[in-house]
Amino acid sequence: MQPAEGQPTSNVKHTQVPPTSNVKHTQVQLNNLINETLQIYELEDQKLTIVDDLTNSLQIITEFLGFSVSVDPQIFDLTPDVTVTMLPNLDLIIRMSNGKTETKKFVDCTPEAISRIMEYAIPQLLDAIKSQKETLLDKITFLRAITKQLLPLNNIKDGISTQKSEQVSQDAS
């Protein structure tokens, strides 16, 4: 219905109340939003826990072994002329080509970066362990050989001690 001539027109728009089905649909969507958000929160919490556990376990290995390993700079979207080194405490030292250095914590990396670091570093750690194991085996083999060679000296010492104690007991009689 149009207003009569000379009467003011109203600028107020009447809003329609959405039908009940739209309200229910919006409530269902809101519930879904809340549930999905809670699941993301739980997953983020799990991610943090897993990264912390991984970091602690890996740090036990690297600190015990004392190894530093190089890390591919492209993992961090850096150019190949940048060097990245993971220290035994899992700090990542990033040396730029201009001489600047920055430190990044392993635990602060994204899960994707951590996965790529692990893929890159584990073979290096295994090679370093293999090399250290061979060196230790060589040293142990050498020490066994010279110990075996020197073992007769213990028998001489035991013989001298036995002779002295026999002599002391004879002198006492």
E strand intervals along the chain: 69-71, 83-86, 91-95, 101-105
> Cα(51)–Cα(9) distance, rounded to whole angstroms?
66
Residue 139: its pLDDT value, please?
97
Residue 119: its pLDDT value, please?
95
| Mean pLDDT (whole number) for 21-28 | 89
**How many Cβ atoms sit within 10 Å of the Cβ of residue 109?**
19
**pTM of the entire predicted model:** 0.63
**What is the biggest distance separating any 2 CA atoms in the chain, rounded to whole angstroms?**
150
Taking CB atoms within 8 Å and a gap of at least 24, the contacts of 57-60 are 58/90, 58/106, 59/88, 59/89, 59/90
pLDDT tens, position by position, 91-120: 999 999 999 999 999 999 999 999 999 999
Q: How confident is the model at residue 54 (pLDDT cuts 50, 70, 90)?
A: very high
> Cα(163)–Cα(152) distance, rounded to whole angstroms?
16
3-class secondary-structure state, position 103? strand
CA nearest 71: which of 130, 111, 123? Answer: 123
Phi, psi of 70 (to 5 degrees): -80, 150
> Cα(72)–Cα(107) distance, rounded to whole angstroms?
17
DSSP label at 16?
Answer: P
Distance of CA 154 to the CA centre of its chain: 50
